[in-house]
Amino acid sequence: MIVLRKYATIFSISLAERLTYRTDFFLGTLIRFMPIVTTIFLWGAIFAGSDRTRIAGFTSDEIIAYYLLIMVSRAFSSMPGLASGIAFDIREGNIKKYLTQPIDMLGFLLTSRIAHKLVYYSIASVPFAIVFFLCREFFPGWPPPTVLAAYVISLALAFVIGFLFEALLGVLGFWMLEISSLLWVVNTLNYLLNGHMFPLDLVPGPLGVLIRLLPFQYMAYFPAMLFLRGAEMSTMELALAVGGELLCAVALWVAVRYLFARGVRHYSAFGG
């Protein structure tokens, strides 16, 4: 009960903090949709120059739907500033605060992230709804309820995986003084590997197969494809696919916990 109240307090403070940047909030939400506009036009021009009706298995409508769904995936899985924040706390010694107070650092960060995300959704859902309504023609229609349920679960897991992925990078700060360049390189690669830049199906041959086996896809590509192609899958296949994502989340969680514990030990041995 007390633990619950502790995290509830963190939650509401984070919420209040988020709301203070008001101009930024509206602007930021709006501006996030601008790349979609260019993407629509770019793919329009690509299909216009091609004699095919499908590219990498996508019709011109599906490709737009794909990019829109990627926006949704990323709204869940992207965690701006999390890794650099953790590394900063380690470098500046702020981490002592977590080690001396009866609070778990990762739990604290997760709680405040959830608060941040909820504020974001509460404001961003309006422009999201408008954009999706305007773009409804690109979608084939609502998927069946089981697919929808699997989709919602996959998004929740995308949030968890995104959080753990960034936390994993941040925890590297225990051993590396400066991780900002590394973060930049990893994020650039992630942009391609998670399917944010283009559908992973565009990559031909064994390389394409390999990319779709990597865990990065769960942060963007996987939920989007579940929504688009889920109807073609059996319930068993859906469950297996989501189970794979869950497995990935668990593996990441173990890895982060392990590295964090090692890091703390390393820190108290050398960093003090």
Partner 1 sequence: MKEAGSRYVRLYLSLARYCFVRELSFRGNFLVRCAGQSLWLVLILTFFQLIFLNTRRIGDWSHNDYLFFMGTSFLVNGTVSGLFLVNCTNLSELIRTGDLDFALTKPIDEQFLLSTQRVDWSNLPNLFVGGALVLYAWQRSGNWPTILQGINYVLLLIAGVAVLYSLMLMMASSSVWIVRNRSLHEMWFYVTQFARYPADIYLSHGGGRVLYFVLMYLLPVLLAITTPARYGVKMVEWPMVLYLFLAAGVSLAVSRWFFRFALSAYRSASS
Partner 2 sequence: MPVIEVDNLCKTYRVVQRSEEGLLASFRGLFRRRYKSVQAVQRISFEIEPGEMVAFLGPNGAGKTTTLKMLAGLIHPTSGSAQVLGFTPSERSNEYRRRFALVMGQKNQLWWDLPARESFRLHREIYTIPTSQFESVVGELSDLLSLGDLVDQPVRELSLGERMKMELVAALLHSPRVLFLDEPTIGLDVVAQTQLRDFLRRYNRRHEVTVLLTSHYMKDVESLCERAIVINHGKIVHDGSLAAILNRFSQHKILKLQFLEDAPEEVGRYGDLLEVRGPVARLRVDRAEIATTLAAILDRHRLEDITVEEVPMEEVIAEVFRSGEFQAVSPDETVASSATSS
Residues that bind partner 2 (CB under 8 A): 12, 15-16, 19-20, 22, 25
Question: Residue 226: what residue type?
Answer: L
Judged by CB under 8 A, the residue of 13, 19, 24, 250 near partner 1 is: 24
Residue 19 touches which member of partner 2, partner 1, none, C-beta under 5-8 Å by kind: partner 2
Judged by CB under 8 A, the residue of 2, 92, 100, 181 near partner 1 is: 181
Judged by CB under 8 A, the residue of 119, 131, 197, 233 near partner 1 is: 197
Q: Which is nearer to partner 1, 189 or 250 (CB)?
A: 189
Stretch that binds partner 1, among 1-9, 123-131, 198-206, 254-262 (CB under 8 A): 198-206
Stretch that binds partner 1, among 62-70, 164-172, 180-188, 258-266 (CB under 8 A): 180-188
Q: Does 203 participate in binding partner 1 (rule CB under 8 A)?
A: yes
Q: Does 53 participate in binding partner 1 (rule CB under 8 A)?
A: no
State the minimum distance, in angstroms, from the CB of residue 125 to partner 2. 16
C-beta of residue 161 within 8 angstroms of C-beta of residue 215 = yes
Q: Which is nearer to partner 2, 17 or 237 (CB)?
A: 17
Residue 214 touches which member of partner 2, partner 1, none, C-beta under 5-8 Å by kind: none
Q: Does 55 participate in binding partner 1 (rule CB under 8 A)?
A: yes
Only one residue has tokens 């107070």, namely 101
Stretch that binds partner 1, among 110-118, 179-187, 224-232, 243-251 (CB under 8 A): 179-187
SS3 track for the chain: CHHHHHHHHHHHHHHHHHHCCHHHHHHHHHHCCHHHHHHHHHHHHHHHHCCCCCECCECHHHHHHHHHHHHHHHHHHCCCCHHHHHHHHHHHCCHHHHHHCCCCHHHHHHHHHHHHHHHHHHHHHHHHHHHHHHCHHHCCCCCCHHHHHHHHHHHHHHHHHHHHHHHHHHHHHHCCCCCHHHHHHHHHHHHHHCCCCCCHHHCCHHHHHHHCCCHHHHHCHHHHHHHHHHHHCCHHHHHHHHHHHHHHHHHHHHHHHHHHHHHHHHHHHHHC
Q: Which is nearer to partner 2, 12 or 50 (CB)?
A: 12
State the minimum distance, in angstroms, from the CB of residue 41 to partner 2. 34
Nearest to 137 by CA among 233, 72, 40: 40
Residue 11 touches which member of partner 2, partner 1, none, C-beta under 5-8 Å by kind: none
**In angstroms, rounded to a whole number, what is the distance separating the alpha carbons of residues 76 and 155?**
6
C-beta of residue 205 within 8 angstroms of C-beta of residue 54 = no
Q: Which is nearer to partner 1, 146 or 187 (CB)?
A: 187
The site for partner 1 (CB under 8 A) is made up of 21, 23-24, 27-28, 31-32, 34-35, 37-38, 41-42, 44-50, 52, 55-56, 178, 181-182, 184-185, 188-189, 191-192, 197-198, 202-204
